[in-house]
Amino acid sequence: MSTPYAYFHKQIVPLSEAKIGIMTHAFNYGTGVFEGIRGNWNADDNTIYLFKVEEHLKRLRQSARICRIEISETDAQLSELIKQVVGKSEIREDQYVRPLAYKSSEVLGVRVHDLEDDLLIFVAPFGPYLDIDAGARVQTSSWRRVEDTSIPARAKNTGIYINSALAKTEAILNGFDEAIMLNADGHVSEGSGENVVIVRDGRLITPQRSDNVLEGITLDTVLFLARSELGLDVVERTIDRSELYVADEFFLTGTAAHVTPVLEVDRRPVGNGAIGAITKQLQKRYFDIIYGRVDKYAHWCTPVPLRQAVRQA
Ligand code: PMP
């Protein structure tokens, strides 16, 4: 059995000892920013490959800047701490690393200035989020994606996730797997925790960044692969809801969801109802890469070798 560890109050401690007080500002008002980093377990190498740590730390800092949260650790220190938490926890399966910077003062009053900040890191086992083989059935949500004029959509802020949670629960309770949110203008924004990509006539289309999307790291990866390896055109522009209905292919990207094909939207089959050829190729390449199996992209993966497991007699 592995014992999960966390970085908390500037120390690495067993996860069970990392507790916050009930008056913590971030808990009461959603004043935190976070990242989700995949740790992909490769049993052949006895190694966990952390995907794009640098990019996630960059986005964490951008979120913190938007929300006025100070991070005292450097990127080099943070990546070292992440490696230590993951290495010590020895979780021999796919996992999720969560750095979270937050307003840690135990005080009442809504604001983001004049408060103490802290940062924690934990890791948890985390398998597939959506069915990457069978594909997802999605629904256009009755919840609109928050506008940047209300809560900055490109900041991965803890409080913003009530928006995603309401949409996800509505979709699940209605018998779907995932929600697709429109923005206030009625254009496609994103899934509850994924970016949206459609394929039309061999060209990839994804909503532009100003449509209130989180600037996805998986999206960037997949669009890069589409351009550089498949030689495909990629366009970032406004997408209408009805355009989802006539797409040849449709897939979602996210740290949790990886590359998940969408096979049905609002009870209409996508394309011919099977996983599309482009989606399949991108999915395969992406999975080879994130488990550290492609030398060319080894620089995207931070290896954390685990001790050899002690075999039970
Ligand atoms: N949008 C939202 C709302 C998300 O929570 C996520 C997951 N972080 C994404 C998009 C996808 O981003 P990434 O590929 O960086 O995980």
- Ligand 1 atom closest to residue 217's alpha carbon, by position in its atom list: 15
Report yes or no: 47 and 87 within 8 Å, Cβ to Cβ: no
The CATH class, in words, for 5-127+296-305 is alpha beta
Q: What's the pLDDT band for 311 if we cut at 50, 70, 90?
A: low
Domain limits, CATH 3.30.470.10, in the chain: 5-127+296-305
For residue 313, is pLDDT > 90? no
Domain limits, CATH 3.20.10.10, in the chain: 136-275
pLDDT at 2: 77
| Structure-block tokens of residue 157 | 């802020």
pLDDT in tens, 34-80: 999 999 999 999 999 999 999 999 999 999 999 999 999 999 999 99
- Ligand 1 atom closest to residue 213's alpha carbon, by position in its atom list: 1
For domain 136-275, which architecture applies?
Answer: Alpha-Beta Barrel (3.20)
Pocket test for ligand 1, best of 35, 195, 212 (most atoms within 8 A of CB): 195
Q: Which of 52, 103, 156, 168 is catalytic?
A: 156
pLDDT at 1: 63
Pocket test for ligand 1, best of 148, 206, 255 (most atoms within 8 A of CB): 255
For residue 312, is pLDDT > 70? no
For residue 258, is pLDDT > 60? yes
Task: Decide whether any atom of ligand 1 lies within 6 Å of the 276 Cβ.
Answer: no
Q: What's the pLDDT band for 113 if we cut at 50, 70, 90?
A: very high
Whether 156 is catalytic is yes
pLDDT at 308: 82
Q: Considering the entire predicted model, what is its pTM?
A: 0.97
* Mean pLDDT (whole number) for 288-300: 98
pLDDT in tens, 227-246: 999 999 999 999 999 999 99
Task: Decide whether any atom of ligand 1 lies within 6 Å of the 163 Cβ.
Answer: no
